[in-house]
């Protein structure tokens, strides 16, 4: 019997069953893992999404257990929770979703990832034009799962197409729609601003709850977004990564070392976490502080154990506390730069802004690096020839092969 015949929560009943969440942590590959969700909930996140999981790898009959052991963990305290998958095959998506339906509140279909790997794998926002496939995947989960299905989408260039798209997703069975107000092409250095007008139009056109994603840098942005768009909740991705206390109303952002220390304590005492994930989080949390302590940045880059991460954080804490004791704190509202962006002292968590690419999209810099490498290789070749000339004849044949092989490897 299809689960649609059972009493399954939908729309606002589903939303209210999770406590009517207003502050939502986004699904982020290798970044919204359980330890990060624990930290975010401590600072007023109402709902968390897991990282995006690959449905085929997650549910593979032979190797899936290894992928799940490495990527997926939760417990009874980790709620409300929505698990996100990327997929392009309805049956595979269902198979993956059924593996988690007893351990979460809902399953989300990723239709927003704009990265090249998503294009190569044919998922995320690169399914945006395949409405029949999207409809089939969502409707199958809506029919067969014991829990609700949701979807995270990006917008189209026009409001009309964006609204039509969202209504199709709703009609297919999505019980919450998260709208990232950027186009598929808006990513990396070309991220730009999210379009709240399109999010507002979608919210007005559908009858299920809508979450807005995009342009959330400070706590005040959350309320502005809620009021402007009328959405039911605001989702944060990068804003949350650089300031895990983003959803907490406070006079000043927390100190970088405070958040780093608390996160490491969670990884140590509550949720063992892979070193690569921990390191990525620390680089983001500590981002404002590391340019002032480049030796710590270098050490962090080489670290690969929890003990090393802890020692680096404690040393940085010691330095920052000393600097803080000697320097007067700026205005609690932050000092605005020429672009109107509020900046705090370097020991406080704050948003990170990617520098704009130069007019030539960085080609000149890339060419300069190539020229430098070419000069370096030429120099190395000359030195190798001189060294070869000084060697006894008995060793030259073997060495020529070695030098030639090394040169070939460098060029490759």
Q: Which residues are catalytic?
A: 113
Q: Is 160 helix (H, G, I), strand (E, B) or coil?
A: helix
Q: Give the C-alpha distances (Å, rounded to integers) separating 321 from 151, 173, 327, 344.
A: 44, 52, 10, 15
Instruction: Examine residue 201 and say whether the peptide bond preceding it is cis (omega within 30 degrees of 0).
Output: no
Which H or E run contains 410?
helix 393-411
Backbone angles phi, psi at 277, to 5 degrees: -70, -45
360: number of Cβ within 10 Å = 10
Is the Cβ–Cβ distance between 40 and 78 less than 8 Å?
no
Give the Cα-Cα-Cα angle 197, 198, 202 (nearest 5 degrees): 120
Query: Cα–Cα distance between 39 and 391 in angstroms, integer?
Result: 62
Q: Are 129 and 184 in contact (CB under 8 A)?
A: no
Read off the tokens for 367. 């060419």
Measured between alpha carbons, how far is 379 from 363 in angstroms, rounded to an integer?
24
* Alpha-carbon gap, residue 408 to 321, rounded angstroms: 51
C-alpha span between 348 and 170 (Å, rounded): 41
Which alpha helices (DSSP H) does 88-230 contain, by range?
Answer: 90-98, 116-121, 131-144, 159-172, 196-205, 219-229
DSSP states along 227-287 = HHH--SEEEESHHHHH-TTTTS--SSPPBHHHHHHHHHHHHHHT----HHHHHHHHHHHTT
Residues in contact with 341: Cβ distance below 8 Å, sequence separation at least 6, in sequence order: 217, 351, 353
159, exposed or middle or buried, with CB in 10 Å at 0-12, 13-18, 19+?
A: middle
């Amino acid at each position: 019997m299809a689960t649609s015949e059972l009493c399954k929560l939908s729309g606002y009943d589903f939303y209210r069953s999770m406590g009517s969440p207003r502050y939502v942590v986004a699904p982020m590959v290798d970044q919204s893992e359980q330890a990060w969700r624990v930290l975010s909930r401590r600072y007023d996140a109402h709902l968390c999404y897991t990282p995006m999981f690959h449905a085929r790898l997650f549910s593979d009959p032979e190797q899936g257990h290894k992928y799940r052991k490495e990527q997926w963990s939760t417990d009874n305290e980790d709620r409300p929770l929505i698990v996100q998958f990327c997929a392009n095959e309805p049956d595979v998506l269902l198979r993956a979703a059924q593996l988690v339906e007893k351990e979460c509140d809902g399953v989300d279909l990723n239709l927003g990832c704009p990265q090249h790997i998503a294009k190569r794998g044919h998922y995320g926002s690169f399914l945006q034009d395949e409405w029949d496939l999207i409809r089939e995947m969502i409707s199958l989960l809506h029919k067969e799962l014991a829990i609700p299905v949701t979807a995270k989408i990006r917008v189209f260039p026009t409001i009309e197409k964006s609204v039509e798209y969202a209504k199709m997703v709703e009609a297919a069975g999505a019980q919450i729609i998260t709208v990232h107000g950027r186009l598929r092409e808006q990513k990396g250095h070309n991220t730009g601003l999210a379009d709240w007008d399109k999010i507002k139009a979608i919210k007005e056109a559908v009858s299920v709850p809508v979450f807005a994603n995009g342009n959330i840098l400070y706590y005040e942005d959350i309320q502005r977004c809620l009021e402007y768009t009328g959405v039911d909740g605001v989702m944060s991705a990068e804003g949350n990564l650089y300031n895990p206390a983003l959803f907490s109303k406070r006079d000043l952002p927390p100190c970088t070392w405070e958040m780093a220390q608390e996160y490491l304590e969670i990884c140590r005492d509550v949720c063992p976490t892979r070193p690569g994930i921990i390191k990525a989080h620390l680089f983001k949390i500590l981002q404002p502080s590391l340019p002032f302590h480049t030796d710590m940045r270098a050490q962090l880059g080489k670290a690969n154990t929890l003990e090393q991460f802890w020692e680096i954080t404690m040393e940085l804490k010691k330095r920052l506390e000393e600097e803080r004791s000697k320097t007067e704190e700026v205005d609690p509202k932050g000092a605005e730069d020429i672009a109107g962006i509020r900046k705090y002292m370097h020991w406080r968590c704050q948003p990170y802004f990617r520098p704009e690419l130069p007019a030539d999209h960085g080609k000149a810099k890339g060419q300069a690096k190539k020229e430098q490498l070419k000069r370096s290789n030429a120099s190395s070749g000359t030195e190798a020839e001189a060294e070869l000339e000084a060697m006894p004849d008995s060793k030259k044949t073997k060495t020529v092969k070695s030098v030639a092989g090394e040169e070939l490897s460098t060029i490759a």
